Amino acid sequence: MKATVYKSTGSWYQVKDEKGKGYNARILGKFKIDGLTSTNPIAVGDIVNIEMENELENSVTITEIEDRKNYITRQSPANKHQHHIIASNLDQSLLFATLKDPKTSQGFIDRFLISSEAFHIPAIIVFNKSDLYRKKEEEKFEELKDMYETIGYTVKKISVEKNEGVKEIKELLKDNVTLLSGHSGVGKSSFLNSIFPDMNLKTQDVSGWSGKGMHTTTFAEMFDVPFGGKIIDTPGIRELGLVDISKQELSHYFPEMRLLINDCQFNNCMHLNEPGCAVKEAVSEGTITMERYLSYCNILDSIEKKSY
Ligand SMILES: Nc1nc2c(ncn2[C@@H]2O[C@H](COP(=O)(O)OP(=O)(O)OP(=O)(O)O)[C@@H](O)[C@H]2O)c(=O)[nH]1
Ligand SMILES: [Mg+2]
Ligand SMILES: [Zn+2]
């Protein structure tokens, strides 16, 4: 019997069969998948085969995992050579960001976009809390929207609190499997509560938000969207790690650079000080923004420090 994994709580998983009936599932023995060293072989979003273990307790055994269309991982906090698979079989990723209380940095957004490119998942950026934006933030939003839309990403502005722009986001969610991401305090749980009125996810009250990541939720979990589709909440996961991206390939994950790479004079060009660099030329002509180029340089530098 086929089922989809909705939640992992360590050794037990919550799965649903094709008719929407839920079970408690576990694996017996060891699974090795994709040759990847992973401490959790099964992820939210996985399609699995199940066999009834105990009808009374509604428990099943997972006997097989179907090949994943795609998946995202993060580095284990304890061991940087180990990766956790967070979720699989995604249609798109939705980054929640804010320009005020708290402010999401461009570097954070760019890292998220690079991870999405590397995992082959289309990305959408949503700037929440628009009710707090004044002239300065509105201008910043327009600037970022223009920059990211030119590269090919979808950018929206919403206020969950004032219920502005939320409908449009719902349309993007419809019939898709969407990974919800974003750092603490940007309004992810508030957003989920607004589309699942019965859910009552815990949100942080404003007074308790100190600016430092204080996480109110801890397990990745998938929810059926009432109007069609699925959404995966990834609480407590601050940043998708730049898993196994080498310095050489980094520019492939900047769509605006990817187009030009073959025009560089050297085929191993890192787009720093090499002569005949098409990327640097595009920066000086303004077709690649200085902001994105600087982001590229910063991230390149951080890969160097991790000595991949
Ligand atoms: N002004 C304003 N505040 C909002 C909006 N959306 C959410 N908030 C507030 O922002 C705070 C944080 O919201 P949460 O929904 O808990 O944020 P989260 O992204 O789930 O945070 P973590 O669970 O820590 O990752 C809460 O006090 C919300 O009430 C909005 O559109 N405008
Ligand atoms: Mg939350
Ligand atoms: Zn170059």
Atom of ligand 1 nearest to the CA of 235: 25
Q: Which residue has the higher pLDDT, 76 or 93?
A: 93
The CA distance from 247 to 250, in Å, is 5
| Residue type at position 13 | Y
Mean pLDDT of 117-121: 92
* pLDDT tens digits for range 21-47: 999 999 886 665 555 555 568 899 999
Query: Is the pLDDT score of 68 beyond 90?
Result: yes
Q: Where are the beta strands (DSSP E) in the chain?
A: 2-8, 13-17, 22-27, 47-54, 59-65, 71-75, 83-88, 92-98, 123-128, 154-157, 177-181, 221-224, 230-233
Specify the residue for token string 């191993």: 268
pLDDT band at 59 (very low <50, low <70, confident <90, very high): very high
Q: Considering the entire predicted model, what is its pTM?
A: 0.88
Neighbours of 177 (CB within 10 A): 21
Is the CB of 235 within 6 Å of ligand 1?
Answer: yes
Query: Is the pLDDT score of 257 beyond 90?
Result: yes
Is the CB of 131 within 6 Å of ligand 1?
Answer: yes
The CA distance from 91 to 176, in Å, is 6
| Residue type at position 140 | K
Q: What is the pLDDT of residue 207?
A: 39
Is the CB of 92 within 6 Å of ligand 1?
Answer: no
Specify the residue for token string 């929640």: 96
What angle in degrees, to the nearest 10, is found between the helix axes of 290-305 and 106-118? 70
Mean pLDDT of 76-98: 84
Is the CB of 203 within 6 Å of ligand 1?
Answer: yes
Give the closest ligand to the alpha carbon of residue 236: 1
Q: What is the DSSP string of 2-22?
A: EEEEEEE-SS-EEEEETTS-E
All residues with CB under 5 Å from ion ligand 2: 188-189, 216-217
Query: Is the pLDDT score of 179 beyond 90?
Result: yes
| CA 137 to centroid of ligand 2, rounded, Å | 23
pLDDT band at 201 (very low <50, low <70, confident <90, very high): low
For a mutational test of ligand 1's pocket, the pick from 186, 191, 205, 234, i.e. the residue with the most ligand atoms closer than 8 A to its C-beta, is: 186
Query: Is the pLDDT score of 163 beyond 70?
Result: yes
